[in-house]
Structure 1
Amino acid sequence: MNTPHQAPLAERCRPRHLSDLIGQEHLVGEKGIIRKAIESGSVPSMIFWGPPGVGKTTIANIIANSIKVPFYNLSAISAGVKELREVIDKARMQSGCILFIDEIHRFNKTQQDALLAAVEKGIIRLIGATTENPSFEVNSALLSRCQVYTLKALTEQHLMQLLQQAMEKDAMFKSKKVHLQETKALFNIAGGDARKLLNLFELVVESLPGDEVSLSDAQVMEIAQQRVAIYDKSGEQHYDIISAFIKSLRGSDPNAAVYYLARMIEGGEDVKFIARRMLILASEDIGNANPTALVIATNTFQAVQFIGYPEAEIVLSQCATYLASSPKSNASYMAIKIAKGIVRETGDLPVPMHLRNAPTKLMKNEGYGKGYQYAHDYEANFVHQEYLPDAIKNTKLYEPGANARENELRTRLKALWKDKYGY
């Protein structure tokens, strides 16, 4: 059945076959695991994790169309246990179905548990879609019965292909000649989101008079600023607002941070999503400049789960203003990034013999653990010995930040290690 012209462009252009899908080549390309599953007819329960507008719903529809089984679509925002049980009952009578659940991370434990037995028994094949890390938001029992596939943001090349496809195949665009004079603004606003791109494209083209139009970045920005919604928790400006919130916290502006927090609260954003982002920031952007920040962010994450809205907004505001006002350091974040780079470059370097575990007599005879000096046996609980592999000894990975607390750490490390690490 053809999609009606009145539907948004993103829906009218939704691919019906893998051959029409743009992006996600690692999953649906010639050697992609999802393509192989469809071709074999053996499609497991799975969860698609990725940013909005990259094809999660589309791939689910293509799977259902390809293997010819009943297909049901629920949104975790509006569906409850009752709707789930109705689908499961239908699936029993139809010898199975595919159930697609959008925003599955918004299901609570009771709703996820209602799915579990049906998935275990093969009554339904679940396809869940989430913009959140499923390891945090999907319970472990359900997660263990699903394959998790990560979908990637679309590149500018993909976005250009989408625009060209729309102009070539959509009825409205066939009747109106469009020249893409500039595309930077379209791509910047879309941010790798196909749905956002196509709907904005349609909005801009419809706003310009005449049967032949040329799109410039200035026109796109003017129309977008007039017409694009302030906040849409389903994805349209979800990432823009949380990005502004995090950058305001990082930039030590509690006023801007609370403003963007209010935008999210008014938009009905998930309290756990907000709290988890602050928990990450407390370590990534504050770290040892103020270790208490991590304690407060952890307690905030726990507290908002207990109390929910509206009272949770007070806790979120307290945490946000504290984090924004705190001294900042990304030293710990940079240290692990540098360390991972060295590991990738040098591979599995041998652990120094004196640091190796020696649980057996044979290993002790081989020299495992020989010469290790137990720090607590020495003055100030410190002894000067080598801990890094020989190939990278004396390599400094942690550079304390320029703040009061980490300056104290730098002074201590310099006193302990002298000139070894250059503190």
Structure 2
Amino acid sequence: MTRNFLQMFFKGALIISAASMILAGCAKDGNDGIGLVGPAGANGKDAIVTCKLCHNPSVVDSVATQFQLSKHEFGEAADGEAGNTACAPCHEQEGFKYVCNMNIPATFAKVGTDTTYTNLYMTTATTAYGKLGCFTCHSSLHTSYGYADFTPLTTVAPVPMTMWAGAKTINLTQDGGKSNLCVKCHQPRPFTKSNTGQDKNVLNYAQLVSLPNDTFYSPTRSNILNVLKPSYRTHTHYGTVGAIFAGKGGVEFGTQPYPQSIHSTAASCQNCHMAPMTGAAGGHSFKAKGNFNGCNNATCHKVGQSSGLMSASNADFVSDQSGIKALLTAIASKLKINGVEILNRNGDATTNLWYSLTANHYDGYLNIYDPVNNPTGSTYNTTMFKNPSTTGFTAAQITTNNSLPAISLTNAQMGAIINFQLCLREYSLGVHNYKYTNALLTNTLAILP
């Protein structure tokens, strides 16, 4: 114990001695102590304090609060589609940036030794993730840490339509092409020749127009002739607004040119959907419903015009929406086989995003029995059609399915289904492009018997 005490004593003495030498060195300047005070040196270079230009209550903080109201922020698809390389280009931030940066085409091609076609518009497994956020659209953020990082946007390039395998392109040049950023995702998905024995290429939409009375699907003929087997979820997906706004991509029956509303060339998505906030709409909420700030300005709707200021009660606004709603209802009433409706009704206002757009609450899906994906179908539809595929059905469900009438479709009916879905799911009842929507539905109605 004495030995340990002596070791601790000597170590402590050494530490005190060393500290004294250091303090002495700090207290003196050379042999004679502290020197005379000289002139002040040059000012140092200012630190780069640019973060506060954006990260302050009036810029990023305000935008972040608005973004909380956006479906881009609180939507669940980013979680559900993570890892899915086909869905990630729109539902995952890194997937979207990948297809933009790599200029991934919207074409279909036979890859390697494959005998069937593949949709090339997909991301990689390593980029199929990421909830949508600021960097999705503003991919240059935190480059210079200045306000200039908000631009350029991730893309403003023309958008090849995936529905048409790149054969048609949307290019909304107004407002610097900013709308192309939105249309990159808000566009319809392709229908493919997906039946057994088919080449999986995109559907021949032109044939629906040129041969309207030909059979598109019949349960009594071979799969070689039935290029697509209809199901409850045979649909254009949900983001159809880009096609309608641009006035391009519908199954255009008739021979007359399809007119365009001035919105398609004079207004951008941002003009209306990012107008100054009113309630929960505008800004980075991206919502436009009930907010007419983007409509009522010196270059659009103003006092003195025949239509006057725009509002939910404006006569033209009400008339145009009522007319499109009537056309959708008329087409649905013609899409029947022996009295059974082809289009699905869904009376649940929570699950049916388009509940209020038609009196019968159509959702754009097909009225085909599917207890897995549409378990409430029989609640809202008096009779349903037999499902051509019973994969995943129980024995009891197969028995129920076999008791239902079979569905068959002509080319005209298939084209009408597509156009109905396009115009229902663009959600505005024609506001985005009334003239094109009206022409598309009017000509569709005329082609149906």
Q: Shorter chain as normaliser: what TM range?
A: under 0.3
Task: Compare relative contact order (CA 8 Å, sep 6+) and give the higher one, 1 or 2.
Answer: 2
* TM-score, normalised by the number of residues in structure 2: 0.24
Instruction: Tell me which protein shows more helix as a share of its residues.
Output: 1
Bigger Rg, structure 1 or 2: 2
* TM-score, normalised by the number of residues in structure 1: 0.25
